[in-house]
Chains A and B, each alone.
Chain A
Amino acid sequence: MCLGIPGEVVELVADQPDLARVSVGGVRRAVNIALLEGEGVAPGDWILIHVGFALSRIDEAEARAAMEFLEGIGQAYEDEMDALRESTTEGPGAG
């Protein structure tokens, strides 16, 4: 829950300005970007995600380092990714 997981913004969702499609550890899902409103989040940007919300923008090097680190910590990260995969939070069309 407390782990920040990096993700790469793939596309913005046209009719839902709070949502972006994001690639997270190979999983594609919708992430709420309302808390980064006004920061011009665009495809190709990297963000740090907590419980389905982007809390900060990071650069690609930090994203890669953070991912490597998370993969190294084992069970806690696997649990978080399992939960994320099972979560179907408001994909476009569902919200």
Chain B
Amino acid sequence: MMILSGDPPRSRVLSALLIVIVALLALAPFLFPGAKPLNVATKICVFAALVASYDLLLGYTGTVSFAHTMFYGIGSYGIAIALYTLGPTWTAVGAGLACGLPLAVLLALAIGLFSLRVQAIFFAMITLAVASAFLVLASQLSGLTGGEDGRSFQLPELLRPGTVFAKGVFGITVSGRTLTYYIVFVGAAAMILALLRVVNSPFGRVLQAIRENRFRAEALGYRTVFHLTLANCIAALVAAFAGALNALWLRYAGPDTSLAFSIMLDILLMVVIGGMGTIYGAIIGAVIFILAQNYLQALMGLASSAAADAGLPLLPGLLHPDRWLLWLGLLFIASVYFFPTGVVGRLRGAARQ
């Protein structure tokens, strides 16, 4: 209970789901040694932390920000630029983190101080403008960022796929790639646990009070701009660290993988599907979304073929793999409609009854 900061999942089904997810992710290199499954597992880890940090903003303070991918991108580019320019050393990794993370926090501080005093909608617009400007900047400063092509780089020796630590451990080769995966896994887990600690602290309670009624919280003596800005900075720090982990895994940072607005939309969907203001929802949302994104097309292909073999009318066409985005969209509309409080909210509600 201590590790969860006194905030357990509060639903047996949810607890079981989380245990299964964490166990599968912890053993992923041994259970799913292929390249694609391991990529999916890593993406789930990175996005679970990234979405949890966004949940701190949206779910706990009610603040809508469109700059979250910018912080994620700063973390990614910090690592990429440092390793590209300084070479594949641990010093470069440290330098990337030492530049990227504070830069993300400073930008979040500046945005917060300038715009969290105004109404929520203006804050959202300002973050949108800043994030757009940063995307353009990253594309234009090609000498530093690699422009539209991004930056590929080499990892330190220890993290390279070619570095073999052991062969035949449960049938797989333990390599630098395995170590990188566990760095991502442990890093993401640490970030989520830290966020649980934050939201269950007195500071987290003030954030919830601000979400409910900002003026009421001020009438109790709380400086809401300070609390919102600090939450924004913590969220930016975690997002930047998640970006750094993602860059380490991909050995690349570019606009499409770290700054694109489609990532922001994915984060929003994952928060809503999982359940806002729960932190655990980030894990569930990331798992559902990323699995659907990666495997729905293949599943539909199988279903379409099966329907065609059975001679069923209409179904083969409806389930054609090319229509996977349509079904993904319908799936999300249905999940928001049937689970307005997200999967976690629904499961907790059922447990209360």
Task: Answer yes or no: are A and B bound together in one complex.
Answer: no
Q: Which residues of B contact A (CB under 8 A)?
A: none
